[in-house]
Structure 1
Amino acid sequence: MRLVIVSGRSGSGKSTALDVLEDNGFYCIDNLPAGLLTDLAERFLPHSDMLLPQVAVSIDARNLLSQLRRFPELLDEVRQRNIQCDVLYLDAEDDTLLKRFSETRRRHPLTNENRSLAEAIAYESQLLSPIIDRADLRIDTTRLNLYQLRDTLKLRLLGQSQSGTSFLIQSFGFKRGMPTDADLVFDARCLPNPYWKPELRDFSGLDQPVIEYLDAQPEAQEMYQDILAYLNKWLPRFASSNRAYVTIAIGCTGGHHRSVYLTSRLSTALKQSFKNVQVRHRDLV
Structure 2
Amino acid sequence: SPTLFLHPQGPVGTARAGMLLAELTPALNSRADALRNDLNEVQMLRTLQADAAMRLQEGLTEVQRARTDLNQAMANRTDLPKRFTEDPVRTAILISTSETLSGFASGLSEMTSDQIDPAPVDFDGQIGSLTLPVQGVILRRANETDAAGVTRPGLILATRPQAIVTSPTAATIRYTGPLLDLGNVVILEPRANTLFVLAGLDVVYGAAGQVIGSGTPIGLMGGGPANRDNALSPNGDGAGMERSETLYIEVRENNVTQDPSDWFRTDKDG
Task: Give the greater-gyration-radius structure (CA).
Answer: 2
TM-score > 0.5, shorter chain as reference: no
Higher fraction of helix: 1
Category of TM-score, reference length = shorter chain: under 0.3
**TM-score of the superposition, structure 1-length normalised?**
0.20
**TM-score of the superposition, structure 2-length normalised?**
0.20
